[in-house]
Structure 1
Amino acid sequence: MSKTAESVWNNCLAFIEDNITSQAYKTWFEPINAVKLTDTALSIQVPSKFFYEWLEEHYVKILKVALTKELGPTAKLVYIIRMENTYGNKQPFTEKIPSANRSNLQSQEVDVPLKNKSPELKNPFVIPGIRNVKIESQLNPNYNFDSFLEGESNRLARSAGLAVANKPGGTSFNPLLVFGGVGLGKTHLAHAIGVDIKDKYPEKTVLYISAEKFTQQYIESVKKNNRNDFIHFYQIIDVLIVDDIQLLSGKAGTQDVFFHIFNHLHQNGKQVILTSDKAPVDMIDIEQRLLSRFKWGLSAELNHPDYDTRVAIIKNKLYRDGVEMPEDIVEFLANNIKTNIRELEGAIISLIAHSSFNKREITIDLARRIVDNYVKHTKREVSIDYIQKVVSDYFQMDVNTLQSKTRKRHIVQARQLAMFFAKKFTKASLASIGSQIGQRDHATVLHACKTVDNLSTTDKQFRKYVDDLTKKLTL
């Protein structure tokens, strides 16, 4: 019996259903329709771009296995995206995208073998003739400057990133260190710089790698006794992007090898881009000689997005997914999810998914249920402003008094406690904490934290202050 698109897809579904959870199967595979089968190429229709991207991100491996079982090693998968909620009530349109080829979204249909879009980064330095080896950048083209919206919270970092992309290695922003809390866009910005450089300077070798992967590679090179080859490989990179550099903390060997690589790149006019959840001054167990080099260029902080930026992020996300949403729901989301961009986009995806899968209109009630459920299961960051208000109320003073220059003992202690809890409960740098609590410098904040630690162990009354405030801030 000849195979049809439906029979091939049904067999694939039977295999997939046996290998994933029932909820995942119901959510991500039941809405898919098989459209056509041409030789070994199966075309399937999915509800939206974000749906397609989710499949590529999380299920491409199992799709590959299932389709190969049915159609053999030359199996190909083509997505047909049905966009039904477009702006301006336009007619629905269909877009055909080969699997693992999302950098070419507007292209004609092109059949390509089904494969992982992000193959594991191996150690290219073990290959003979290294200078002739093509080094994959490991960049995600979706993380670009167009989707990294500018606002007060990120203007300095974004502008510096654009300057570096225009002239890599040729600005005073070398290294460029982007730091800030979880979900504020550090990785997105790092990729955007790399993607822009590759567009402008295709001849340059750009490499994105996490500090964790870099450490794993270094350990492997030591085991195989080719540490020098490891160093040589990284010294031929034109633009090196290392994500989460703070993870080198306490790893003396990895720090030493990174020191030599950094020196070579910097001295030869190559660009280094780093991200971290801490400013250099707050990094612990990183060698001083490395910290001093991190400060050679520019350290740019990403802060929590303000209301206008959150609205712009929501509208941009909706536009990219081809979805319409009433203005009052956009405002509701922006007002209720303030902690970081990742949470905001996650809530939007959840809202669109519920609407799409359940064939329900996006309403304020649906948005409220999604947000309530989402926020309930998400750890919220406490803001520095909120900490100052709680501490001020506890000591029966206003925030202006807390921030004042007075040296009265009870006010000084209140201020020190605010700084202590800001360091404990937020990802803000010491410099940022000091700036927001009475225009103090990072040394004052460091002293305040040490004072609170000392008094907590020697003064029972002060210890009660700490315990009471901890309860109030963690309710």
Structure 2
Amino acid sequence: MQYTKEHFAAWEKAMNMFKNDLNPTSFATWFETLRLNAVRQDAIIIEADNSMIVNNLRQRYLTIMSNVFGATFGRVYDIEIYTREELERQVKEISSTMLNPRYTFDNFVVGASNSFAHAAALAVAEQPRGAAYNPLFIYGGVGLGKTHLMNAIGNFIRANDPQANVLFITSETFTNELIDAIVKKKGTAELRNKMRNVDVLLVDDIQFLSKTVATQEEFFHTFNDLHTKGKQIIVSSDRSPKDLSAIEERLRSRFEWGLPVDVQKPDFETRVAILRRKADDEEIDTPTEVLEYIAERVESNIRELEGALTRVNAQSQLMGKPIALEMARETLSSLLSTREARKITAESIIQLVSSHFSVGEDEVVGKRRSREVALPRQVSMYMLRELTPLSTTAIGRVFKRDHSTVMHACDKIAGTMKTDIRFRKTVEELIEFAKRR
């Protein structure tokens, strides 16, 4: 099982919704025997008893399922349904690479915000043994296409050189495998053999690499070993190398040896193109005015953009009506803010956080370091990084501090949220309130 207790609770809630909304025969025939197999970074994997159920769900219920699971899981996922035999076959096929075959250069929409990163990724894929861009470091916000580009590189290389040894791994998986090897006293030889005998290593979300000395030491030597042998390394992160405050300086400097490229939020034209690609790929008959309406209002990331279209399509199927502008307005009214809605600014966040913690706004941006002031200041910095396009340097200017202080504050809040459920809920509620204001 590759999912958490929270994932399973969301799954059960979704199944109850299907049971209540569908007629008893449909639910018993198509949904009752489904099993949650895994929840990955971008997809919910579902196991069905036979291919007839799989085919019917894919043809008739996929967008409805995406909408319901999006509601219970709290974000939009792709829905993938397979028989047990298909899942077992997939494990055998991808276990050596861990690449997602759905992500290719062909279905990556290029725009002004990502054209340089796309060009660099394609250049590396075409000449993975070249030394010019090694490592290639791709950074940018959540849901902007970094993982897509990483997988596209790996899939392109494998398609053109089936014998190439390509490994895609998240930094979290690397950390967990290293810890597992140490705890079970297996030694790290097996992990080293796996990591260092590849032609291409792709490491996703390097910002989550454990802060422990042993983990960073192991990755440092793995990096050096591969780089010395001329093997291609590609790394992704949600921030630039210099902003990875939890990563040792010697590793950060190596990430800058090659070519750091950033992926920015897509502009309006690119957002429309992304929606058009999704509509065409999934055969969703969507008027251009609806695509433009969504693109005008969802600027944050590609996942939310595509999720809005999925929601409109699900409503269309449930109501048995074609997609139209008025339907999109009604369906997304509770989800999207209009262009006239109040923008999230540093001032609005500081005001919100100050009010919640009962401290003065001038104290939050002031010099006092007592806990009753430091905590709301750090929460404000964290929210600004999560909710605005401001760089850590720009956020630092708001509080008259440098960018390293901001990075430390954000890492501290993120760490506390992982261990303190009540605090995490408080911060998440503040974030949601800031979005609705």
Same fold (TM over 0.5): yes
Corresponding position of 1:153:
113
Distance 1:269 1:250 in 2: 27
| 1:347 and 2:308 matched | yes
Distance 2:251 2:221 in 1: 10
| 1:21 and 2:11 matched | no
Question: Once the two structures are superposed, what CA deviation does each residue of 1:220-265 show, in whole Å capped at 9, x if it has no partner?
Answer: 1113332122112211011111111011141221111111111111
Corresponding position of 1:178:
138
| 1:58 and 2:52 matched | no
Distance 1:356 1:188 in 2: 29
Residues 305-316 of structure 1: pairs in structure 2 closer than 5 A = 305-316=266-277
Distance 1:193 1:344 in 2: 24
Please report how far the alpha carbon of residue 369 of structure 1 lies from its aligned counterpart in structure 2 after TM superposition. 2.5
Cα pair 1:277 1:427 within 8 Å, conserved:
no
| 1:197 and 2:157 matched | yes
Question: What TM-score does the superposition give when structure 1 sets the normalisation length?
Answer: 0.61
Match of 1:280 among 235, 238, 241: 241
Cα pair 1:245 1:274 within 8 Å, conserved:
yes
Change (3 A) 1:429 1:231: farther
Change (3 A) 1:251 1:369: farther
Q: Secondary structure at the match of 2:148?
A: helix
Question: What TM-score does the superposition give when structure 2 sets the normalisation length?
Answer: 0.66
Distance 1:428 1:291 in 2: 25
Q: Secondary structure at the match of 2:55?
A: strand
Question: Once the two structures are superposed, what CA deviation does each residue of 1:429-454 show, in whole Å capped at 9, x if it has no partner?
Answer: 999666x89xx9xx99538969x9xx
Cα pair 1:318 1:324 within 8 Å, conserved:
yes
Distance 2:298 2:25 in 1: 30
Match of 1:162 among 105, 111, 122: 122
User: What amino acid does structure 2 have at the position aligned with 1:147?
Assistant: N
Which range moves more in the overlay, 298-307 or 359-368? 359-368
Equivalences, count: 343
Cα pair 1:162 1:193 within 8 Å, conserved:
yes
The unaligned stretches of length 5 or more in structure 1 are 1-16, 35-43, 45-53, 68-74, 84-97, 102-111, 122-133, 377-381, 392-412, 414-419, 453-469
Change (3 A) 1:361 1:146: same
Corresponding position of 2:104:
144
Please report how far the alpha carbon of residue 19 of structure 1 lies from its aligned counterpart in structure 2 after TM superposition. 9.8
User: What amino acid does structure 2 have at the position aligned with 1:166?
Assistant: E
Question: Once the two structures are superposed, what CA deviation does each residue of 1:206-231 show, in whole Å capped at 9, x if it has no partner?
Answer: 11111111111111111333212211
Question: Once the two structures are superposed, what CA deviation does each residue of 1:93-141 show, in whole Å capped at 9, x if it has no partner?
Answer: xxxxx9759xxxxxxxxxx9342576499xxxxxxxxxxxx95211111
Which range moves more in the overlay, 23-32 or 314-323? 23-32
Distance 2:86 2:402 in 1: 54
Distance 2:23 2:117 in 1: 36
Distance 1:357 1:29 in 2: 17
Corresponding position of 2:416:
none
Q: Secondary structure at the match of 2:144?
A: coil
Distance 1:187 1:366 in 2: 32
Match of 2:185 among 209, 214, 224: 224
Which range moves more in the overlay, 220-229 or 23-32? 23-32
Cα pair 2:165 2:198 within 8 Å, conserved:
yes
Residues 414-425 of structure 1: pairs in structure 2 closer than 5 A = 425=384
Distance 2:295 2:203 in 1: 31
Identity between Structure 1 and Structure 2 (%): 33
Please report how far the alpha carbon of residue 279 of structure 1 lies from its aligned counterpart in structure 2 after TM superposition. 0.9
Q: Secondary structure at the match of 2:151?
A: helix
Distance 2:110 2:223 in 1: 30
Cα pair 2:167 2:200 within 8 Å, conserved:
yes
Change (3 A) 1:265 1:429: farther
Which range moves more in the overlay, 169-178 or 344-353? 169-178
Cα pair 1:163 1:171 within 8 Å, conserved:
no
Q: Secondary structure at the match of 2:334?
A: helix
Match of 2:212 among 247, 251, 263: 251
Cα pair 1:207 1:240 within 8 Å, conserved:
yes
Please report how far the alpha carbon of residue 372 of structure 1 lies from its aligned counterpart in structure 2 after TM superposition. 2.4
Distance 1:284 1:202 in 2: 38
Cα pair 2:172 2:210 within 8 Å, conserved:
no
Match of 1:300 among 241, 248, 261: 261
Distance 1:195 1:184 in 2: 19
Residues 36-435 of structure 1: pairs in structure 2 closer than 5 A = 58=44, 60-61=46-47, 63=48, 66-67=49-50, 79=55, 100=82, 113-115=85-87, 119=91, 136-222=96-182, 223-375=184-336, 387=345, 425-426=384-385
Please report how far the alpha carbon of residue 359 of structure 1 lies from its aligned counterpart in structure 2 after TM superposition. 1.3
Change (3 A) 1:276 1:354: same
Q: Secondary structure at the match of 2:220?
A: helix
Please report how far the alpha carbon of residue 360 of structure 1 lies from its aligned counterpart in structure 2 after TM superposition. 1.8
Distance 1:213 1:425 in 2: 29
Question: Once the two structures are superposed, what CA deviation does each residue of 1:343-391 show, in whole Å capped at 9, x if it has no partner?
Answer: 0011111111121233122122221123223337xxxxx98xx648989
Distance 1:255 1:118 in 2: 31
Cα pair 1:99 1:115 within 8 Å, conserved:
no
Distance 1:198 1:178 in 2: 20
* RMSD across aligned positions (CA): 4.6
Distance 1:218 1:138 in 2: 17
Cα pair 1:180 1:278 within 8 Å, conserved:
yes
Distance 2:404 2:59 in 1: 59
User: What amino acid does structure 2 have at the position aligned with 1:273?
Assistant: I
Distance 2:111 2:220 in 1: 34
